[in-house]
Structure 1
Amino acid sequence: MERAAPPARTDALETAARAVLTLLSDSRTEDDDGEWHKRVRLWEERGIRKVVRRARGAEWRRAEALPGITVTGQAAEVRVFPPVPLDGWPRDLARLQVSGTDVADPEPPPAPAPGTPVLWIGPELRMSAGKAMAQAGHGAQYAWWGLPAAARTAWRDAGFPLAVRTAESGVRWARLTGSGLPVVRDAGFTEIAPGSCTVVADHPDLPRG
């Protein structure tokens, strides 16, 4: 997040979600003999905690030198790394700051195009952009888990089109959380209460009810 040209909030959230999907669909993760396969599977079994930190300048260049994948949005750049234990972070990641990840949209984002997968955020939640990026990543991962193989392949081949939007009302949010679509419930480590519903993953190929 460069000071002079930070990304818009929605761009950052959508890029973070696509970064998670890119990691999950990478051959290093999917192949049984892939170098990230066992680490990702163990992480999925123990809980998919995600941490978002910001980097700029030399910090970003050092982070890009570590094994991972960089995904770009309209202005956002997100580098996603295979999971590591909380006490085993590489020094160049551990020294990065959590603060400074809060950015805003200069104007409300447009309605998603018909048929676009949408990660809906609860309208009453107050989350920093960094926290919301992690939640969008969870929602994308839940969607990925719920899709049949053919739908996963089609989504990946299309470049993981998606939108992140805030539900327009509490009534709409209640319908979404009761629809049978995947719902992310936060563990409560930071910012919001444990068990809070944060994201509903709405993909056309996900089962409902």
Structure 2
Amino acid sequence: MSDEPDSTEQITDDPAAFAQRHAELARGYGGAGDPDDPAMVQAMQMVLHIPKAEPPVRSSLLEAAAAAAVAVCMDPRSGPGGEWEPRYLAWKRSRIRKVARRARGAQWLAAGEVDGVTVEVDGAQARAFVPGPVGDIDTRIRKLQIGGTDLEHDEPGPVDPTLPVLWVNAALEMSVGKAAAQVGHASMLLAGALPLDAVAEWARHGFGCAVRDADPTQWAELVAQVTAGRAVAVRDAGFTEVAPGSMTVIAVPAQA
């Protein structure tokens, strides 16, 4: 789409500017709390393309959502002096929220006209938008449903060792929309935790990642990696679907 960089190379073509955007992400999130006016609560809206006739594979759709979320954060337009910077920072420096919606047909095409980044993985498409107040969501996004459609769990096979893996806590049985928001959190956390050169390399590959479900045995092993500092975890605030403080996704860096 015309409003987006032609390739991920454009994200890293200015190393100094890229480093500034990474440094902002690495500072962490929140701190400002919620505003008194509920309409001014900040959120990143996401839209998942789920056609009725040929719905996408769940794992591929979640991989697209995760890549799109971090791509918005690392986009030049979100950096110093960029047109998205004020909206991005207002969100990032308050309490982080993401809301995933679904679209098909003309709704999906209209969503592509709103500021954001679209990622496609094996035919599955997701778009993450520039954050803003929940009381001022573009009407093309506001009218899209948040729930109502889910996708069957799939078995995507072995993980490419050159990709980071976002492990979803299968015991929580999250909907595809909730899981999309959580893997979006995970990709951001991982980008902030990784060294600059590793994130630059990841950006050159479109922030590709693998999303897999973790059974209880795998999850226990992953929690141990978090404790050892070898992985990062998303802990949910508990506004929807899961209890406050639930560990929803664990992101493990690429192994090769």
TM-score where L is the length of structure 1: 0.91
Q: Does structure 2 conserve the Cα–Cα contact (< 8 Å) formed by 1:10 and 1:109? A: yes
Choose the corresponding residue for 1:182, options 211, 218, 232: 232
Deviation (angstroms), 1:204: 3.9
Q: Report the count of equivalent residues.
A: 203
Question: 1:43 and 1:182 mapped to 2: Cα distance?
Answer: 21
Match of 1:4 in 2: 53
Match of 2:221 in 1: 172
Report whether the alignment pairs 1:154 with 2:204.
no
Match of 2:74 in 1: 25
Runs of 4 or more above 6 Å deviation: none
Q: CA RMSD in A?
A: 1.6
Question: 1:201 and 1:101 mapped to 2: Cα distance?
Answer: 26
Report whether the alignment pairs 1:195 with 2:245.
yes
Deviation (angstroms), 1:172: 2.3
- Aligned pairs for 1:85-124 (under 5 A) are 85-105=133-153, 107-124=154-171
Matched residue type, 1:17: A
Tell me: CA distance 1:138–1:62, structure 2 relative to 1, closer, same or farther (3 Å).
same
Deviation (angstroms), 1:18: 0.7
Tell me: CA distance 1:126–1:169, structure 2 relative to 1, closer, same or farther (3 Å).
same
TM-score where L is the length of structure 2: 0.75
List gaps (5 residues or longer) in structure 2: 1-49
Match of 2:98 in 1: 50
List gaps (5 residues or longer) in structure 1: none
Match of 1:15 in 2: 64
Deviation (angstroms), 1:113: 2.0
Report whether the alignment pairs 1:135 with 2:182.
yes
Matched residue type, 1:202: V
- Percent same amino acid at aligned positions? 41
Q: Does structure 2 conserve the Cα–Cα contact (< 8 Å) formed by 1:123 and 1:173? A: no
Deviation (angstroms), 1:84: 0.9
Question: 2:150 and 2:115 mapped to 1: Cα distance?
Answer: 26
- Aligned pairs for 1:59-98 (under 5 A) are 59-98=107-146
